[in-house]
Chains A and B, each alone.
Chain A
């Protein structure tokens, strides 16, 4: 493709380092890994397998944090390393792809593809925006709640990607400049709504099923779909209400007339045709699936329901394999197999027991202190690292620490998984942020400042609910 070029005149050594920084980092980390993994200098009381699991865990964390090779490839490599160094048996390592969390995620991706193919999500978006978008603050709040609601049933990145072109058309129609208040908060609403909505169910982000997969593999216990919503929704909904007030107050300064949007949604390109049979079928499957997840998941299992529901989208001819293939994030699925295997290795080799006995048991944590540390660690780690990687890195250790404090491992899942989804500050911290940034209306410095406050406030609210509401629910 034709593109403009420029000549970089910095010293060649600098250019070389910049061009090959990933390769250099990878070589150094591989060399360091090989030195440590083959070392006989194992801490006393730690088995060789536990030591090797620790080295592989640190190596994987380094690669996940630096992102010098794709996250999925790191996960696959982890499986190879665990099997090669006999940390876990070969058959056991590769069997983790059979975890039902992985199949739930596949099902969820296909359901999302089905909803998108039918056009149901677009219809809902057009309906909401044309009906409630006649005032600037109503428009922004519509975007916010629409994104949040859709993220309950679809991956948050898919919601942001679907709404983005609609919002760009709106900003074009309203002739918004890059400094526009309305433009800025409309796209903030898109990012924040998608992020917050994605935390409430298992469908918004695959990190929640992943966390439950790790919980199941490590302890044999699980968390149901309804149980998750009952626990997570109240604190998140409170955060959403506060964010909605904030957005409404900020946008009240805008005097832009958005009446024109009604025309836009009733004109040629923007007009949505009458509801199609496909959309009706998609709606019925979706409602049925959510009903089964909420009320019958104990009987049928959420992964089984997801897969049968996914199949129904094909049986009823709502979607086809070509569309579904595009929606399935195979990278995420590859990542989760390796991540679950690594979590299991930390438990099975006795590494976590060792860490617990030698380090954590000596610390005098209060429950509040433990919660605050874990919540803030997770929320700030997720700003720089993939949401799912945060779960893999923290959850096994936090579960063990929770158990040492006589707290149930289920609590650890909530404490790690919820804040790992609440990435507000940086464009790279979650796909909805990156999509909203690409609009050109959001300045990074401002997003960083507001995002930082949102991170702190969100975690404080989650901590408050953890100390009160979750106790009432009997979680611990």
Chain B
């Protein structure tokens, strides 16, 4: 599975084509999006909405670690289900950890991921913070280590195939599909309840 990078001029139609190709090629139940800086928040939101409108799929946003917590709220407002922090650094600063922890409060449990640089000490640090560490490349031993960790069971999304961690093609039974659909709709509903537009709030005041 690849990360789909959305450029400033990427149309919804092209993006949907990419997503469709990913789904048919990898039978995946999640896709990872990355936005070029020039893409506006409004466009990001519209594109994520389009994907969710056409496919029953979890959308994970890949990003660096923003400087401000408010940016995490903006990511959440796009309608993505999860966040994957993949900064090109070898260790996380205290401030970065704080920002990532903030994301775990906002997103559903088990849907905040962070690059572990295949470093067991980082993995040990991230899991208690409810962040799922992601190895840099397929490393079965490391994945087993993560999955067998005492904290992993408490935070892992209860899915047959864990997003980003299980990269091999999985066969889904009808029960798996129903479970996924329920989880997906629950997360969408949670998001719908939590994300408020300021003008809506003003309008509801009756003025």
Contact = CB atoms under 8 A, between A and B. Distances in A.
B193 A5 contact: no
Contact of B197 (A4, A12, A19, A438): A4
A12 B77 contact: no
A434 B205 CA distance: 11
B89 interface: no
Contacts of A55: none
B193 A7 contact: no
B27 to A, nearest CB: 32
B174 interface: no
A31 interface: no
A5 B73 CA distance: 9
A428 B206 contact: yes
Contact of B206 (A4, A8, A434): A434
Nearest to B193: A15
Nearest to B192: A19
A3 B198 contact: yes
Given A15-B193, A15-B194, A16-B193, A5 B207 contact: no
B58 to A, nearest CB: 19
Interface residues of A, number: 17
B57 interface: no
B194 A7 contact: yes
B206 A5 contact: no
Interface in A1-58: 2-9, 12, 15-16, 19
Contact of B76 (A2, A7, A16): A7
A428 B76 CA distance: 34
Contact of A427 (B194, B200, B207): B207
A16 B194 CA distance: 9
B114 to A, nearest CB: 21
B190 interface: yes
A19 B190 CA distance: 11
B47 to A, nearest CB: 14
A437 interface: yes
Interface string B178-207: 000000000000101111111110000011
Contact of A12 (B106, B190, B195): B190
A3 B193 contact: no
Nearest to B72: A7
Contacts of B195: 5, 7-8
19 contacts: A3-B197, A3-B198, A3-B199, A5-B74, A5-B77, A6-B196, A7-B76, A7-B106, A8-B193, A8-B195, A8-B196, A15-B193, A16-B193, A19-B192, A19-B193, A427-B207, A428-B206, A434-B207, A437-B207
